[in-house]
Amino acid sequence: MKAAYQYRKEGLLIVVSGPSGVGKGTVCSALRKRMPQLVYSVSATTRKPREGEIDGVNYFFKSVPEFKRMIENGELIEWAQYVGNYYGTPRRFVEETLAQGKDVLLEIEVQGAMQVKERCPHGVFIFLVPPSMDELLNRIKGRGTETEETIADRMGAAADELKQICHYDYVVINDEVERACDRLEAIITAEHCRRDRLIMET
């Protein structure tokens, strides 16, 4: 009797992170247009909805007590407090989506990515880097919204975050958005073809 082969149906958890200003949002947005089957992870937050935002689409909007209960009950893969509000990634949404065979894209800061790695070690962790630190500085300055002090803080933080590269599976240089998307798409395709995702039926 001949063997038959197929890949596991579970989706991949794809975590893209990197220093502030490297272009995570731009690259991930372009990747989602190219790969519409990717499911963008919806975060939970305690901040108030802005005009036009929809619960469950843009964010899962929670009260502070609700969010704290989620933390206590282990319902978040990662979480952080930023400018007086809580933000986090709901475990249930991610796990249910992966079980449906859909890939989940999580665009996140380095600190959060390390939390995810502890809880979901089988995820695919991709570090986005700039072509050079000079280019990163130019991109941050190009926003036109940062003070010199803030720029210095961001560059210092970026230098520290770049030391975390060793914890990632892949590194993608964001020298040009479409080229970075090519690399990300290739990584996702390769990960789906890993030996440990192969099922042999006899």
Judgement on whether residues 50 and 121 belong to the same structural domain of the protein: no
Judgement on whether residues 66 and 140 belong to the same structural domain of the protein: no
Judgement on whether residues 124 and 92 belong to the same structural domain of the protein: no
Judgement on whether residues 126 and 180 belong to the same structural domain of the protein: yes
Q: For the chain, what is the domain count?
A: 2
- CA-to-CA separations, 58 to 107, 112, 125, 173, 196, in angstroms, rounded: 14, 19, 23, 28, 34
CATH number of the domain residue 178 falls in: 3.40.50.300
Q: What tokens appear for 116 in the block?
A: 């995810």
Q: Over 80: is that where the pLDDT of 143 sits? A: no
Judgement on whether residues 201 and 134 belong to the same structural domain of the protein: yes
Judgement on whether residues 8 and 75 belong to the same structural domain of the protein: no
Judgement on whether residues 94 and 114 belong to the same structural domain of the protein: no
Q: Are 1 and 202 in contact (CB under 8 A)?
A: yes
Helix axes 177-192, 24-34, angle to 10 degrees: 60
Q: Over 60: is that where the pLDDT of 78 sits? A: yes
CATH number of the domain residue 62 falls in: 3.30.63.10
Q: Over 60: is that where the pLDDT of 1 sits? A: no
| pLDDT (tens digit per residue) in 144-168 | 667 888 788 778 888 888 889 999 9
| pLDDT (tens digit per residue) in 10-58 | 999 999 998 878 888 899 999 999 999 999 988 899 988 888 889 988 8
Domain boundary among 54, 71, 101: 101
SS (H, E, C) 102-152: CCEEEECCHHHHHHHHHHCCCCEEEEEECCCHHHHHHHHHHCCCCCHHHHH
Task: State the pTM of this model.
Answer: 0.83
Enclosing domain of residue 170: 1-38+103-202
Domain boundary among 101, 124, 148: 101
pLDDT band of residue 196 (cuts 50, 70, 90) is confident
